[in-house]
Amino acid sequence: MAFALLNRLTAKPGQRDRVVEILLESGRMFGDNSACQLYLVAESEDDPNLIWVVDLWTGEQEHAEALKTPELRPFIEQTMPLLEGMPEQIKIRPVGGKLPN
C-alpha cells in the first residue's frame, strides 16, 4: 500500500539554504528508485527557518529499505547539527488523487 510522509524540519537561524541544499543532494539517490514516487523539498512562505519535505513511496517497507542505504548517513550527519531539534514526521496514508506515474 502506498505510503507518504510530511516531514517538517526547522533549521537553525540562517541555515535553511544549506539544509535545503543537502536535502536536494541526498534526494538525488531516490531518482532511480522506482519505489520513490515523489520527493518534494519546499520552503515555508511564512517562517524563514521552516522546511517541508513531502515524500511518497509505493510502500512503507520500500521507504524503510531506502533509508538503510549507507550513502544516506553522511547527509543525515551533516543535517542534524543545522536543525533545531528533531524533524517532525507526519505519516499519512494516500487514498488517491492525481499522482505521479
DSSP β-bridge partners for residue 51:
9, 43
Q: Which of 70, 81, 85, 100 binds a second copy (CB under 8 A)?
A: 100
Based on the shown chain and the rule CB under 8 A, indicate whether residue 19 belongs to the binding site for a second copy. Answer: no
The verdict on 99 binding a second copy (CB under 8 A) reads yes
DSSP state, 85? Answer: S
Residue 46 or 77 having the CB closest to a second copy: 46
Q: Does 30 bind a second copy (CB under 8 A)?
A: yes
Whether residue 84 contacts residue 10, with contact meaning beta carbons closer than 8 Å, is answered with yes
Work out which of 70, 81, 85, 96 binds a second copy, going by CB under 8 A.
Answer: 96
Question: Phi and psi at residue 50, in whole multiples of 5°?
Answer: -95, 135
Question: In angstroms, how far apart are the furthest CA atoms of the chain?
Answer: 38
Query: Residue 94 corresponds to which amino acid?
Result: P
Q: Which of residues 43-82 bind a second copy (CB under 8 A)?
A: 43-46, 52-54, 56
